[in-house]
Structure 1
Amino acid sequence: MKITRIINNNVVCAVNERHQEMMLLGSGIGFQKKKGDAVTVEKIEKEFFLKSKHVTGKLYALLAQIPMEYIRVSDSIIQYAKQSLDKELNENIYLTLTDHINFAVSRYKQGMNFNNALLSEIKAFYANEYRVALKALEMINQEFNITLPEDEAGFIALHIVNAELGSEMEETMKITQLIQKVLNIIRYQFKIHFNENSLHYARLITHLKFFAYRLFNNTVVTSNDSDFLNIIKEKYKLEYQCSLRIAQFIRVDYGKELTEDELVYLTVHIKRVTDEEKV
């Protein structure tokens, strides 16, 4: 392998025999090296193959400013998340999570802790991602010998959700807030308390997550099954009325219209979760 770029003493960019570009981490791997030199294989601790040139370029710039421990712990968290959630994650998480960890540790050392206003919602809506984030918090605290607050697990969970959806942090926070508002409408109309451990509640949250993602990205669901739509509207009248109320809220607050298909699928999920609460 030949070095094509030196980021710092511990991070280099190299190309292998198959002309694949990669990022290599290792203590002293770039020390007294220059472009074109052979990589000291024994010093390689981590190898990264990132497809996105945009992400790679920004990550290089970040790693030129921070110790390699941040990308190392970030990578460990990402691999754990992929395995635990059995999902692929957008490569952008290597940049955003590494940057967040660096910022969080820096804030902690300065005695500046941020409260996470959405922590309760994150725990409820993204339970699996939050469990991964709690483990991530353990990894970070152990690596840097610190004690970050639980609020940070909420932020990390959002980074994981971003990577699952391929969205930005701002959009994920908007999605989370929208889910909470929709649940409040359902809760108020049917005067129920959700069982957050139930299967139907989990399905409703999953539906709302992708429903909100579609809404903010201007994509729609269409089934072309008018018979099914009419049956649901007729059979579940109260639930459909609740969907119409949600549509009105979205129209007023977000200036977006829901399709009949979105309304009907929402109706089905509302029916399931409200029936469960009546049992």
Structure 2
Amino acid sequence: MKVVKILSNNAIIAATENGQEVVAIGRGVGFGKHSGDTVEPLNIESQFIKKGNELNDVLVQLTSAIPTEYLLLTQQIIQLAQEKLNIDAQESLFFALSDHISFAVHRFNKGIEIKNLLLWDIKQFYAVEFSLAREALALINHKLAITLPEDEAGFIALHLANAKNKDLSSTMQSAGMIKDILNIIKYDLRIAFDETSLDYQRLITHLKFFTLRLFKRENVDHEDKSIYDGIKEGMPKAYLCALKIGDYVEKNALSQLTADETLFLTIHINRIKAG
């Protein structure tokens, strides 16, 4: 493996034998090295594939300012995310997560506690990401001998969800909108949700993708409307509830639901109502 660029004494950009550029991390891996020098694999403690050129300067600043131990922890968490969430290793995720860990530890050492106001929503709507984030939090607390609160797992889960959705603001907006839509369904139909049921989990999954499509302006709209009238007639209460959600979406996301989106919502609402 050859050095391409020194990021810090503990991190470099290197080229593998097949020409693939990677960010390699290890204590002292960059010390005294220059571009073109050979790096022994034994000196590399962690590495991830470098996907682009736009973050070179950010990576230089990041790896210079953040302790190597935090960078290695970040890479361990990303490896878990790759295995369990099928998330691609990205420089942006590495940057955001290592920076967050560093700042979280700094806040902890200063006695500053920040409450995660979206914690309940994250647990409900990003349950898989939150489960992995709790593993990550336990790893951080164990390795650094600290006790960061569960709120931090919520923040980590958002970073992981963002790595899948590519837009943290949309991820956060999505969580808030899902909560509002669930309230519309609950109070309009006067039902209590069984959060352990398969139909509830299907509804949550549908709403995740539904809200993210809204923010991306990616509407689902097919020409065949042959079953639309049958759905309206067969599921009148669920259909009227879906129309109320449409009014909410138009007011809050400035987007009109297509007939298809209304149809899919109606079907999911009817399932949850029947259950």
Residue matched to 1:272: 271
Aligned residue-pair number: 274
Q: Does 1:14 align with 2:1?
A: no
Residue matched to 2:58: 58
Q: Does the 8 Å CA contact 1:236/1:267 hold for their aligned counterparts? A: yes
The DSSP-based 3-state class of the residue aligned with 2:3 is: strand
The DSSP-based 3-state class of the residue aligned with 2:207 is: helix
Residue matched to 1:36: 36
Deviation, 1:56, is 5.3
Q: Following the alignment from structure 2 to structure 1, what is the Cα–Cα distance between the partners of residues 237 and 56?
A: 51
1:197-225 Cα distance to aligned partner (Å, 9 max, x none): 11110110010001000000111112322
Residue matched to 1:24: 24
Residue matched to 2:233: 234
The DSSP-based 3-state class of the residue aligned with 2:226 is: helix
Q: Following the alignment from structure 1 to structure 2, what is the Cα–Cα distance between the partners of residues 275 and 55?
A: 50
Residue matched to 1:199: 198
Please report the RMSD computed on the Cα atoms of aligned residues, expressed in angstroms.
Answer: 1.5
Query: Which has the larger displacement, 123-132 or 210-219?
Result: 123-132
The DSSP-based 3-state class of the residue aligned with 1:14 is: strand
What are the ranges of 5 or more consecutive residues in structure 2 without an aligned counterpart?
none
Residue matched to 2:183: 184
Q: Following the alignment from structure 2 to structure 1, what is the Cα–Cα distance between the partners of residues 38 and 89?
A: 31
The DSSP-based 3-state class of the residue aligned with 2:103 is: helix
Q: Following the alignment from structure 2 to structure 1, what is the Cα–Cα distance between the partners of residues 151 and 28?
A: 35
The DSSP-based 3-state class of the residue aligned with 1:47 is: strand
Q: Does the 8 Å CA contact 1:88/1:164 hold for their aligned counterparts? A: yes
The DSSP-based 3-state class of the residue aligned with 2:227 is: helix
Q: TM-score, normalised by structure 1?
A: 0.93
Query: Which has the larger displacement, 49-58 or 262-271?
Result: 49-58
Deviation, 1:28, is 1.1
1:101-132 Cα distance to aligned partner (Å, 9 max, x none): 11111111111111011111111112121111
Residue 220 of structure 1 aligns to which amino acid in structure 2? Answer: N
Q: Following the alignment from structure 1 to structure 2, what is the Cα–Cα distance between the partners of residues 205 and 143?
A: 34
Residue matched to 2:255: 256
Deviation, 1:57, is 4.8
The DSSP-based 3-state class of the residue aligned with 1:23 is: strand
Residue matched to 1:214: 213
Q: Does the 8 Å CA contact 1:59/1:94 hold for their aligned counterparts? A: no
Query: Which has the larger displacement, 257-266 or 245-254?
Result: 245-254
Q: Following the alignment from structure 1 to structure 2, what is the Cα–Cα distance between the partners of residues 90 and 176?
A: 24
Q: Does the 8 Å CA contact 1:229/1:264 hold for their aligned counterparts? A: yes
Q: Following the alignment from structure 1 to structure 2, what is the Cα–Cα distance between the partners of residues 213 and 59?
A: 29
Q: Following the alignment from structure 1 to structure 2, what is the Cα–Cα distance between the partners of residues 249 and 90?
A: 36
Residue matched to 1:78: 78
Structure 1 residue runs of 4 or more that deviate by more than 6 Å after TM superposition: none
Q: Does the 8 Å CA contact 1:130/1:153 hold for their aligned counterparts? A: yes
Deviation, 1:100, is 1.1
The DSSP-based 3-state class of the residue aligned with 2:22 is: strand
Q: Following the alignment from structure 2 to structure 1, what is the Cα–Cα distance between the partners of residues 131 and 245?
A: 30
Q: Following the alignment from structure 2 to structure 1, what is the Cα–Cα distance between the partners of residues 145 and 219?
A: 47
Residue 196 of structure 2 aligns to which amino acid in structure 1? Answer: N
1:128-158 Cα distance to aligned partner (Å, 9 max, x none): 2111111110011112111000111111111
Residue matched to 1:171: 170
The DSSP-based 3-state class of the residue aligned with 2:59 is: helix
Deviation, 1:90, is 6.2
Q: Does the 8 Å CA contact 2:48/2:89 hold for their aligned counterparts? A: no
Change (3 A) 1:56 1:135: farther
Residue matched to 2:155: 155
Percent identical among aligned pairs is 42
Q: Following the alignment from structure 2 to structure 1, what is the Cα–Cα distance between the partners of residues 84 and 267?
A: 30
Q: Following the alignment from structure 1 to structure 2, what is the Cα–Cα distance between the partners of residues 37 and 82?
A: 30
